[in-house]
Amino acid sequence: MICWMRGVELYVSDVLLSGVAILTGFLFGLLVHVFSLGIKVADDPRHESGDKLPTLIDELRANVSYSCGVGLLITVLLVVPVAFIEPSIVAAGLSSDMTAIFSTLFIHLILTLLMVIRRVRAAYKVMAK
């Protein structure tokens, strides 16, 4: 809404696209690691089905999976202007409507990653006891 009211324009470049794509790739790597950690915790006889740690690991996996999806969506949406729109038009900046959409998705991704950090801290606190 603020982007639309102020007429803010996003200047999409291949550097921005590369950064988001690399972040999404790292998130996929984190997803694989959290998945393997969940399997190890599930196989550990010290943790029963009612324990808090397996639940936190499952919630962490869900948060990382969702953040991968959001990162992939942003990457795909950034490919369109970089790959299919004439460079001189992209250099002039995207419309304020598109800027608002990208800004909302970026903020959403950051908030989701903060939730991932929160889950990791909660799981660490349970493991440290």
| Domain extents in the chain | 2-128
pTM, whole model, 2 decimals?
A: 0.82
pLDDT at 126: 86
Question: What is the distance of C-alpha 7 from the center of its chain?
Answer: 26
pLDDT at 84: 76
pLDDT band, very low/low/confident/very high, at 17 (cuts 50, 70, 90)? confident
Work out the percent of the chain whose per-residue pLDDT is above 90: 42
Nearest Cα to 34, choosing from 62, 74, 70?
62
pLDDT band, very low/low/confident/very high, at 6 (cuts 50, 70, 90)? low
Q: What is the per-residue pLDDT across 40-56, written as a single tens digit (0 to 9) for each?
A: 888 877 777 678 888 89
Q: How far apart are the first and last CA of the chain?
A: 45
Q: Is 45 helix (H, G, I), strand (E, B) or coil?
A: coil
DSSP state of 117: H
pLDDT at 49: 65
> Cβ atoms within 10 A of the Cβ of 2, count?
10
**pLDDT, average across residues 54-66:** 93
DSSP state of 11: -
pLDDT at 79: 85
Confirm if 81 and 12 have CB atoms less than 8 A apart.
yes
**pLDDT, average across residues 58-85:** 89
> With 0-12 CB in 10 A as exposed, 13-18 as middle and 19+ as buried, what is 7?
exposed
pLDDT at 93: 67
Helices within the chain (DSSP H only)? 2-6, 14-43, 52-84, 87-91, 96-128
